[in-house]
Structure 1
């Protein structure tokens, strides 16, 4: 990341700025002129999420299952911006998770916080997240509690409450066709936590020193629309004293016959940074996913190849947007891993049933090296099924139903993080405007 950008973002005092904007927001009620954009363009939503998750382990481990059920309520309030060359705004998010079913012998799904002493899940957990923001033209700066959905660190949406960060981000669309993103992040709020914690490197199977933490992550990059159907994505990220990572991707849509041929090429180049507290990092991860969309069908075939001496690094608690994104039981990012996958998606809107969709996915990885476990040339595979429906009319309109099932098997040593399992998830979601 350029020193100037890093210094500017690092110098932004997160908490005082948020407090300033909060005071500004409180004072707007007495100023009709300022309130014109701040209040008139504001909106709020309530999201209700009911989540059941079941990991039924099929190996010889002492723990036979991780099984929990929980309810979430998330209130999102977003202001508009005050008028003028520089517009100010303030967002707030209230998050509440409530335990419906759990026990110490089957806790640990990451739906709920768990006590390290007795393994009991909390009855409830909650937090209030505040974000200050300003806008100049098509450039927006946010500070405080922020979410980033970028290739190298995608805020995980796969549990009860969303995972967020503390820091300052800038997003600009002032140049036609280019979306520029840069940011400075110093803490992470995990999806099953109520407080900000130092960031660390994901270390399943003891790939890295997962206890090592970083003072901050800084990044810069963007997406550029080269032409119709063709875009390029490039980012540089530094997770201080742990690792650095460069991302390059190309996405292309090409009309072909009665359908569309899609090509998704992604690459991640990673090495250690600074003091290298997480240990050696040496990895190149490249992948290609080619699909064809026709009517409601989309068939995709992909291959991912990892080279170098280590696994592909990413920030613990987030997801890396590689070929294996959104797998349920493993990340398929081990050292030397070669991964194949096939996906069939179907949108039933093509046959007059909008809101209904299905997915079948098979992922297989081999040539895996687990150096810390003394294993090499290992294999893993996952078969995944999804069925989702959003109710289109009636009193339950916009209620979303999602069922996900995975069958995962590997030949890893018994001490490995990823275990043979049949995993089931059921989600019921409802979004309702509150103003």
Structure 2
């Protein structure tokens, strides 16, 4: 009983943080679509109040998350960046939007149960952090580290709060380019999985997720790191296996998504080469509003998950701390996909490509210490038919962040 007692109390172990996010997003479309641009600027406020746990072998706690987004610049002719909610009738973005998330939690030894508003980081369901405010789920989540080196995950969610939404709604499958029936909803999703650190150099992962009456998805992954000459070589293998589930309201789902990626770190440099191959008759499914943890996860203009697609990428990351400038980092990335099939648009053997660069800096000292600035830009082109979801564009994002500890 004493071994399982919590070290700190409900109030003694609590802390609060206010994060400010100033976000500018500009999509400059390069095709002949009806809308020539989507450009908005907004300010986000993310307040997190996290309690400790009550004393004893079973500790109880409560987390509160308050989210507020404020429009700084937008108009109906250029709304739709997903920084802000947009009226379907007028195309006008809301002046502000907010939501409150409550998460109860119970801790027993090395196991934690959370219920309420959830942030998930699962291979098949990553709560999207890529807009003004984070996306969350409503449900229950158990994480356990009772066995050394092994983290077990299991849970259930019945609703999603999207990154530009004020409320929970039923989950659907993402359906750009008409891949699936995007109108079909699910009553819930359930998941189970484990991450095992077999050694300091090797981590193995196995996960399964069921999105009731839409699809089910298994995942196997391995990450290995080893010294290689003067640097470190990382090998990353990921595989998703997807089929329809229950009444298959999303339509046919038949996909095997396989990827292999190598990264070599040397000094401040990190060089990455990756390849992903889609097998089966359909694209890789994922829940609308979330992200799939594939190797194309942080691309800006496409998801590179189309049916039959074969994608490769080359990335160079540099940490300028190696050159005596701590806090400054950069990335240059080229991504290309081909053999793409867009069945709903009657297109086969199509191609897409993207050149992306970014720079980030966190101020290290002075009155603005810990203020972060990140600039990202991509140049995306494809040969998809008119009406496709992913359009030729030049995209720019500017993000300024600052986290202020309250106590």
Q: TM-score, normalised by structure 1?
A: 0.92
Residue 34 of structure 1: CA displacement? 11
Determine helix, strand or coil for the equivalent of 1:248: strand
Partners of 1:297 and 1:249 in 2: CA distance: 25
Residue 35 of structure 1: CA displacement? 12
Determine helix, strand or coil for the equivalent of 2:9: helix
2:6–2:57 Cα contact (<8 Å) kept: no
Higher helix share: 1
Partner of residue 319 from structure 2, selected from 347, 371, 390: 347
Unpaired stretches in structure 1, ≥5 consecutive residues: 1-32
Partner of residue 268 from structure 1, selected from 240, 243, 250: 240
Partner of residue 291 from structure 1, selected from 232, 257, 263: 263
Determine helix, strand or coil for the equivalent of 1:419: coil
Partners of 2:103 and 2:288 in 1: CA distance: 23
Partners of 2:226 and 2:371 in 1: CA distance: 34
Unpaired stretches in structure 2, ≥5 consecutive residues: none
Residue 228 of structure 1: CA displacement? 1.9
Residue 273 of structure 1: CA displacement? 0.2
Paired residue for 1:221? 193
Partners of 1:36 and 1:121 in 2: CA distance: 44
Paired residue for 1:75? 47
Q: 1:35 to 1:252 in 2, by over 3 A?
A: closer
Q: What is the number of equivalent residue pairs in this alignment? A: 403
1:256-295 Cα distance to aligned partner (Å, 9 max, x none): 1110000000000000000000000000000001010000
1:35–1:82 Cα contact (<8 Å) kept: no
Partner of residue 276 from structure 2, selected from 304, 308, 319: 304
Q: 1:406 to 1:36 in 2, by over 3 A?
A: closer
Partner of residue 389 from structure 2, selected from 411, 417, 421: 417
Paired residue for 2:286? 314
Paired residue for 2:204? 232
2:338–2:350 Cα contact (<8 Å) kept: yes
Partners of 2:209 and 2:46 in 1: CA distance: 30
Partners of 1:351 and 1:175 in 2: CA distance: 41
Paired residue for 1:330? 302
Runs of 4+ in 1 over 4 A off after TM superposition: 33-36
Residue 351 of structure 1: CA displacement? 1.3
Matched, 1:86 2:45: no
Partners of 1:343 and 1:236 in 2: CA distance: 29
Paired residue for 1:192? 164
Paired residue for 2:31? 59
Partner of residue 356 from structure 2, selected from 351, 373, 384: 384
